[in-house]
């Protein structure tokens, strides 16, 4: 078992004394991120909603970014990926990131295309 844990997070900015402390520290961080998400989701600041960035609301990009941040800390600290060998990290993360990005890109482009066909084409679907 990986008894020795890597106790530093945020690239070594914060170093915890023991593993239990690190768990609580990560929980606090995840809670803060979730709270930010929920507050943003309830308030929906106008400048984030009406700013478009790469075909999407800036707010949605922020949500997705924060989600990936949360996913990183769940995997790295709760699932102890931080303590695993580089080869295991890469086998799991690269595979999933590549396949998911590929799938997402294909399907969202296609969904957008069908939307345009419904809107500008000769297909009438709202009868």
Q: In the structure encoding, which two tokens stand for residue 77, read together?
A: 């600290």
Regarding 91 and contact with another protein (CB under 8 A), the answer is: yes
Question: How many angstroms separate the CA atoms of 92 and 87, rounded?
Answer: 9
Give the shortest CB-122-to-another protein separation in angstroms: 16
Regarding 13 and contact with another protein (CB under 8 A), the answer is: no
Q: Which of 17, 20, 122, 123 binds another protein (CB under 8 A)?
A: 20
Task: Return the DSSP state at 55.
Answer: T
- The interface mask with another protein, positions 21-40, x = CB under 8 A, is --xx--x--xx--x--xx-x
User: Helix, strand or coil for residue 13?
Assistant: coil
How many CB atoms lie under 10 A from the CB of residue 77? 24
Q: Which of 10, 15, 51, 67 binds another protein (CB under 8 A)?
A: 67
């Amino acid at each position: 078992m990986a008894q020795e844990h890597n106790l530093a997070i945020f690239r070594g900015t914060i170093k915890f004394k023991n593993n239990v402390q690190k768990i609580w520290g990560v929980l606090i961080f995840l809670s803060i991120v979730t709270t930010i998400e929920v507050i943003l989701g309830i308030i929906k600041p106008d400048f984030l909603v009406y700013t478009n960035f790469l075909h999407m609301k800036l707010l949605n990009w922020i949500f997705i970014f924060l989600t990936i941040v949360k996913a990183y800390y769940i995997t790295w600290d709760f699932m102890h990926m931080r303590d695993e060998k580089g080869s295991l990290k890469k086998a799991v993360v690269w595979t999933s990131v590549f396949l998911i990005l590929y799938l997402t890109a294909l399907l969202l482009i296609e969904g957008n295309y069908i939307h345009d066909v419904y809107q500008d084409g000769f297909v009438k679907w709202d009868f």
